[in-house]
Amino acid sequence: MRSKRVRLDRRLTVGPSAELPAESSVVVSFNDEWGNVAQVFDLAALGLSAEITTVLADAFFMHYAASAVETRKGCWKALRAFGRFVAEDGGIAFPADLGTEAIGRYLVWLDRQRSPNGEPWSTSTRNSRFVHIKMMLAWAMRNRADRLPAQMDFPDNPFSGRHKTPVPRRLSAPHLKTILRACYEEIDAAWARFTEGQAVLAGMPDASASGRGAELEALVQYLLRQGEGIMPLQQAAAKLGETRGSSNRLGGTRILAQYLHLTVDTLVPFFLAIAIQTAANPDSLRLIRRDCMAAHPLDGHRVVIDWAKPRAGAMIRRAQRRSFDRRRHRAAPNLIDSVLAMTAPLAAHAPPSERDRLFLIRGNRPSGIKAIGSQTLSTGIRRFIARANRRIEAWNDAHPDGLRAPLPKFVPVLFRGSVATEHYHATGGDSRAAQAVLNHARADTTDLYVRGPETERFQEATVARLQQLMVAWFTGGQSAHDPVGMEATMAVNVLGKNATAFGHICGNPLVGVAPGSSPGRLCPWFGACLSCPGLVIPIDAEHLARALQAKRKLESARDRIDPHRWQLVYAPSHQILTESILPDFPEELHPAAERIIPSLPSLPDLE
């Protein structure tokens, strides 16, 4: 008997159409994928005329609706810079004034801007402030043509050289190890404090490792009730009343929050250690998801960490992943497990758009729980460096025989190139190893990360070693010296069995073993190797002697054989010898070469 199956309604529900900004609207708001307001920008704060503000607000809303949060922030910075320019320029009051001349004045104004320390704006900063304005005005020209001038031209590349990559700063292996050691010290302390707080909340006897179990338990339970499972906001936590004394004795609200969940100070060492181990882009790692780990398909002890990188690939996103052995105590998967446990209380209160992020924090602003921001992370890293260096200074005072190096000033963006460079050197200059670490599709992209003075010296040493091996192959492994006074056969042995007058592997051009040749007649391929792109001629007196001998033989044949035949067959070889090969030999080698020429075997006559 067949059971009745309920038919599924697969019809798509048509939602309300997206509302376009009203004509008078100058407040632009963007929603996240859950429909909640994510960003709000009030363009009235720019101080522009109502007509220009409306055009820019319309373009901003329509063109950047699907852009990332950081991209919109960059656009807002460009709008504020453009607002300052319009105020100082004084010649732009209506959209009709936004012509090509106004764009030129804006570029000149950007070149005059200075940072707070008096330095000019970088090329990338000026380009960013220009490109966003260009994109919005170009959109308005296409879609709101009645509001802008009929023609507005933009320069193709006003900030040339912005793609030139300067020699980047790199952290050495000892620096990376020093940073990791400081991270692991704070990770152990943060995990011990968190597990102690969880034990207190679970009501376990003798849970407090600090010996102040009753006081800690009472205060943690009080804060838990006030914050509904997490640390309350700073304003609410400051009103502790009679518990203020206990809070101060236990380290204050910043330390007490670490008993409940992850904070900025405890997040930073986890973030830095994972960033060094994965060599991930810092901004991509900052937004890594909580479900970023998967079992390795072949090795049961390994775990694959996967994260997203928006610019990795064009049409198809290239996966960013590394695998790690869980048996290592401080391997990245084990650190991520700790972060998952420490952020679980925060994830329960996070908005849907942030709930799947790994590095969650509770900020002091009403914005709530979300992934740590770039500026907050930078501030936390500076505090981390200061704390670590204070500990190292105290250690050095107490242990003068075992001094530790302090932490250098660094930013997470240095880790990616530094780790790639160390892999490059450890593998003997194999760029494919660094390419695999960075998950790059092309090796030339990896080269931008490993380049630097030390890498250039390493590459020069590698090239020199390979050149020595190649020269040894050509010369038969014989040492180079002046074979004056030797017999002809002895001179050939010294100069190498694999080298002849024209540099190719040919013991006798009259034998007739090459394709198309006959015994007793000159090989038709004789001299063709001079035009070979793989031609290698060592710079020494012996090879200069053979080159000079070949040149003189060609010039002797020019006066003897038919001119048209010489021009057709031998002139290209003569030109390569005189214009491309001989000028590379230094003048001081010529006297030794002239002494070697009489000892060389005679070359066959050219027909």
The model's pLDDT over 376-394, given as tens digits with 9 standing for 90+, comes to 999 999 999 999 999 999 9
Q: How many Cα neighbours within 13 Å face the side chain of 226? A: 21
Is residue 86 over pLDDT 90?
yes
Q: What is the pLDDT of residues 220-265, one digit of tens each?
A: 777 666 666 677 765 555 555 545 555 566 666 778 888 888 999 9
pLDDT value of position 546? 87
Q: Decide which of 477 and 270 is more confident.
A: 270
Q: Given phi > 0 = left and psi -120 to 50 = alpha, else beta, which region is 364?
A: alpha
**pLDDT tens digits, 254-287:** 788 888 889 999 999 999 999 999 999 998 999 9
At 149-207, the pLDDT tens digits run 767 788 888 887 766 656 668 899 999 999 999 999 999 999 999 998 888 777 755 54
Please report, for the chain, the start and end positions of each structural domain, with discontinuous segments joined by +: 27-147, 185-259, 264-398, 413-471, 478-599
With CA atoms as reference, report the closest residue to 480 among 537, 526, 552, 530: 537
Sign of CA dihedral 544, 546, 549, 554: negative
pTM beyond cutoff 0.85: no
H/E/C letters for each residue in 99-140?
CHHHHHHHHHHHHHCECCCCCECCHHHHHHHHHHHHHHHHHH
Q: Are 130 and 166 in contact (CB under 8 A)?
A: no
Judge whether residue 15 has pLDDT over 60: no
Two structure tokens written together for 492: 């050939």
Residue 88: what residue type? E
Contact 228, 236 (CB under 8 A): no
Specify the DSSP class assigned to residue 11: P
Specify the pLDDT at position 336: 96
Report which of residues 422 and 465 the model is more confident about: 422
pLDDT reported for residue 275? 95
Model pLDDT for residues 18-42, shown as the tens digit of each residue: 444 444 468 999 988 778 888 899 9
Is the pLDDT at 500 greater than 80? The verdict is: no
Mean pLDDT for 94-118 is 90
Q: Are the C-beta atoms of residues 434 and 449 closer than 8 Å to each other?
A: yes
Average pLDDT over residues 584-601: 90
- The pLDDT, as a whole number, for residue 214 is 67
Lowest-confidence pick of 55-64, 140-149, 237-246, 550-559: 237-246
What's the average model confidence in pLDDT over 36-65? 90
Higher model confidence: residue 81 or residue 562?
81
> Which pLDDT value is given to residue 581?
87
Q: Residue 175 is which amino acid?
A: H
